Structure 1
């Protein structure tokens, strides 16, 4: 287990603990770090299926009844030492500074939007947030459901004043079956939504390391409910994508998809529509919504580390922790570029903890190949308060 060095700032902020996924005493290792902060909320990332359920049961049995426990499987973890795999990361939020409540939004396949909106509004009203404290939402969702776009739009419509961010649960690089945890119950085809209130200052963080090129393509045939492009520019999708990206079709892999993303323009900004796999009929499966007629732009990679550091350096104060949701395709691109250790060092420096996702949610959108996070900041110093005045 690695809990990182204890500092004065850690007392009020969240704490991340980590252990090997295969450890026979996994729960005990995690609890050893969590008990010290008396958590009101614990997020668990990395375990899957039956193991996730057993871990949830063990945590539930040893933590206070009022502690909210949620989590999901992942495509990789971000712990006290940076990027890792085959581990479990637990993040404890001390009840002295945090209050949380969760609900499960079930039946993603049927999109019961009206039911969800009723549940979300009732949850917000019952939670009764204090105006003087910071309020935000966390969304964990089945990463192979294909319903994130509709779900995020529903939450945005139901709770427009609440900043919400989160990640799609992962399954390594298999993209087959993901797991979510609420309390000690494990399920799929659903999402877990949390409202969290804190007396700490918060700041949203978002970073994508791509910019648009001049190369564009039109989706001339698609299967929207499967997030699949059948044709680009009236040509078989995989063949045409390989051509515009300058890659031999037989060399198309998740790493190449990560290096050469397709982007869609929304307002003044471009957002990645990441490719997850080739289909047997020569199409492209995406990790976000797509439709016939969409104009896509080929993206190019910018600096993956310096830009990230600049985003976090722009925070008003060094964070106590950043809860991070980082796309697995970003991690693959960093690995190919030999920058995994560099990024892990940055995660340690800025106290980032979270998991690698199949997609990220923020600002009312479902996006890909992006890092999104919520930074928890210590109170402003007397000098800062005086300068602001």
Structure 2
């Protein structure tokens, strides 16, 4: 399969789909997305022929296992989910769409028997939950803390169960190019070589600066199973609180947490909610020309990138939350969602650490979050 547009691309940016040992190229449209929020990579590629006649049939159908590459870089391992076709008097179009191997964890129920895990690490529980669907678990954050009790709720999916588990433990989950479930921390893919910089590589940018989901106080409440060493009242009533002086007027958010909650877990969850919501208010969309950085590396999700944007008021380190590689008549671009890493922190940094670097003249949001970010140590 060939196409003039695809042939003009540099080989390092040519997209190939491999199924059954055969690699297909020449796509006129490409849409590949990796995101910390979606948990499952996806792709949609297609080719359009103008004028009469059809398109040579590609022997690919739903359910086929596949790999997607940009140049020599593997970006997705998964399954074909759809093969849309369309035609009109002017053209004929054929496409292929698919998702990562982890799609089965997003779509399918947690079916472990027995459905309860006691005194096991978060990594061990996630591995057990993913095992029935043949998904490997990779942890970039060790085993995580030991959980006293995690019970599958009736009808929940594997990822819903894992997400509920990791929220209490302040960890992230996503997938990688090989289709594995990844337990991660913000920035664990390293630092981007290039900044996102207005006037250099940025085609467009926008941020809503919407703080409607931020509160001055977060209260997390829940229950803990009664044990022999605890009285009933103390065991059943668990609460944790975090305040946020950056929100001027009184706004209280109460969150009910399920599971076997401890006071320390409740407080940590409240702190996570506080920092996550401020971070999301500064979440920004950028469109950058080309898929690769100046050193030849693809832009990657979960990288730390410097954002220099005097129009929006940023001169700070941000976390790449998602990368959407697109090819159409306008050429190849990557649409990235970036956010302050604090909004995705497994554990908030100490207040003393936050106050070290607060004199960046180009950044207007130091009063909310520091512009220079360092991972927790």
TM-score (ref. length: structure 2): 0.28
Bigger proportion of residues as helix: 1
TM-score (ref. length: structure 1): 0.28
* Structure (1 or 2) with the larger CA radius of gyration: 2
Higher relative contact order structure (alpha carbons within 8 Å, sequence separation ≥ 6): 1
